[in-house]
Amino acid sequence: MQISISRTMQYLNGVKDHIIFKEPESKKSRRLIALSPSNLLILEEHRKAQENIRESLRLPPITENDLVFSHWNGGPLLPDSVTHVWVKLVRKCGLNGIRLHDARHTHATIMLKQGIHPKIVQERLGHSTISTTLDTYSHVAPGLQQAAAIAFDDILSRDSALNK
């Protein structure tokens, strides 16, 4: 299962209709992201809860164009409200000081450390170029460099042992 990133929401401070939706900044930002089975289960439960609320309030059913995370009536959540919920969750877990955007960096760092190809990480993050991903996460590279050197040495050792 995949999730589609096809639009962005922008909050315009001080404007009457303060939320607009627009095309992502770059072509690479418009993307499909594969979901893990556990993420899929969580999102399915969330959607069922949204459907139940809408049904009980006699609101129209959810469509594919509706937001994944919204108010009970389908209206968009303000960015600060999402941030406040994140801060409360982080404090409850005893992880003070971790910003919501840090979760994105953690996701990318873990994938790179697991040996996921940087191109896949770039696609998941929506970076317009691979150099953006590699420059941003170069701090992961020293460990990857060492792992690559050891793997290469292992291959050479194995090949030389087979040729004897």
- pLDDT tens column, 114-143: 889 999 999 999 998 999 998 998 887 667
Report how far residue 100's alpha carbon sits from residue 95's, in angstroms, rounded to the nearest whole number: 12
pLDDT at 71: 87
Is residue 45 scored above 90 in pLDDT? yes
pLDDT at 151: 86
Is pTM, for the whole model, over 0.75? no
Top pLDDT among 80 and 159 is at 80
- 93-122 pLDDT, tens digit per residue, is 998 888 988 999 999 999 998 889 999 999
Report how far residue 3's alpha carbon sits from residue 40's, in angstroms, rounded to the nearest whole number: 10
**Locate tokens 């600060």: which residue?**
80
- When pLDDT is cut at 50, 70 and 90, the band that residue 50 belongs to is very high
Report how far residue 5's alpha carbon sits from residue 2's, in angstroms, rounded to the nearest whole number: 10
Burial of 112 (0-12, 13-18, 19+ CB in 10 A): buried
pLDDT at 52: 94
Report how far residue 107's alpha carbon sits from residue 14's, in angstroms, rounded to the nearest whole number: 33
Top pLDDT among 123 and 159 is at 123
Is residue 12 scored above 80 in pLDDT? yes
